Amino acid sequence: MAFLQGILPFLKLYLIVLPKQNGKVAIVTGGAKGMGYETVRRLTSLGMHVIIASNHDNEGLAAVKRICEERNDAQVEFEHLDLASLKSVRQFVNRFQHRGLPLHVLVNNAAVMLVPESTTEEGFEQHFGINYLGHFLLTSLLLDTLKQSGQHDSCSRIVTISSSAHHMGHLKRRQSYSPHAAYAHSKLALVLFTYRLQHELTAGGFPVTANAVDPGMVDTALYRHLCSPTQLAKRLVARLLFWTPAQGASTAIFAAAAPELEGVGGCYLHNGRRARSSGDSYDEALQADLWTQSCRLAGLLPEPRRAD
């Protein structure tokens, strides 16, 4: 019975017929493999022009080739983006904006998990730098394009992939490094950012929504850094208890294209429906403090632009 209760929301998601998205443009970070790739496949099947943003060039180009072989009318391309480098994020945005394309959907999907202690190009801890700060800067730099592309009856959408691990996260500095804590920290930061971002968008009256997604336990390459005994145990249970990448991507796809979420933001979505995130994630003072600190770390002004 418990298994059926868990699978039913996904079956409902699969039965939903999403409307065509012809003429819309999307960016999916980490779209070369796993859930990101499945998200790209589905969005292109709906008629979107999708840009795969990844630092894995060969995998990204191969993903484009596979999708085009499946659908000869697919509008999909690859652009290099290294979220471990804020310089690379700025270069990616500059290249995109130079093309003059609109942007209707941004899916912040790329992530690392349980990596050994190391830092990004600018010296940030890897989980915080890649999972959170790189996406914070990317989203911030693309906001004007998202605002200009949205309409009040057809909002642009920001979909950010978090995790149930955020329930174990907190933003206090630890004396010793823990990859589990670092991952949870980054995923909590993404939820806090999503809520604060939606607050700013609503206050400014902009036609953009921001939602966070919990995809559930998904069998992807993110688990490659587990220790050997845990890797073995994971392989034994993954086929029974973990979602496939396609299943894991379903809520993100729903958030990106479902009519039911038109104009709806500031949600934490799990299994295609609203769920409650951690208590800390609703702390407005914590949201505001993270926003200000993130603007400083990313080299942005803390005050957002307002509508006239």
Catalytic residues: 183
How far is residue 103's CA from residue 145's CA, in Å, rounded to a whole number? 6
Bridge partner residues of 49 (DSSP) = 25, 75
Q: Angle at the Cα of 126 (from 284 to 302), degrees rounded to 5?
A: 35
Residue in the structure block whose two tokens are 């190009």: 121
Q: Angle at the Cα of 307 (from 306 to 308), degrees rounded to 5?
A: 115
Task: Find the distance separating the first CA and the last CA of the chain, reported in whole Å.
Answer: 54
**Residue whose C-alpha is closest to residue 306's, from 205, 155, 193:** 205
Here the tokens at position 168 are 């174990």
Question: CA distances (Å), 200 to each of 16, 103, 148, 287, 298, in order?
Answer: 31, 19, 16, 11, 18
Half-sphere exposure of 74 (CA within 13 A, CB side): 22
The DSSP code for 127 is I
Here the tokens at position 221 are 């390459």
